[in-house]
Amino acid sequence: MMNIFTEWWGGLDLTLQIFYAVGIFSGSILLMQTALMVLGIGDGALDMDTDFDLDHDGGGHILSVRSITGFLFAFGWTGALCLQSGLGIGLTILAAIAAGTAMLFLLVGLMRLIYSLRQDGTINYRNAIDQIGTVYLPIPAGGQQAGKIEVVVQGRLTVMEAFHKGKHKLENGSKVKVVDIIGENGLLVEPLS
């Protein structure tokens, strides 16, 4: 098997060997990156980003190992195919650069899309303001002790601590409106008429 490869490799001219070497080397790195990512251990193992990127939201970096490897993969294989089909060296290099650039921007776009699908599960308590909720555990009057309310925040039903500064205790099942935040995770509520 090795003899067949050596024979084939020896029959290629230097330019074709360079294109094949770039394509094979970068293809193996892409394959290794993909395998590590599928196994869950390669999310960043072979993707060291530089400071030159399209955005600051994570993902979508132009100069990363993944995007440069994608460029080299398309560059090498396109160059080899163009030379094999009889295209001149000048047009081959232009076609290889165009294919590499297209692959680079395709990978950047795909990574941006993947990173845009991420969600942060942290509740921002400010999103509860002006929401209507139901008292879950009675809320004492005076605002010194907390009760609990059920309220939809960020699309999900959540039970949160709530305070009420009025003169009457808010009973279980009462409808309330969130008017402010108290402390880090307490809500100030008012009864609905």
Q: C-alpha distances in angstroms, 44 versus 71, 82, 105, 164, 183?
A: 19, 34, 19, 48, 37
Element at 48 (helix H, strand E) = none
Task: Let me know how long the chain is.
Answer: 193
d(CA 27, CA 74): 9
- Where are the chain's structural domains? 8-116, 127-191
The DSSP 8-state label assigned to residue 126 in this structure reads G
- Distance of alpha carbon 73 from its chain centroid, rounded? 23
Q: pTM higher than 0.85, yes or no?
A: no
How much is the pLDDT for 162? 94
Span 11-69, pLDDT tens digits = 888 999 999 999 999 999 989 988 887 887 755 444 444 444 444 444 556 778 888 99
CATH number belonging to domain 127-191: 2.40.50.140
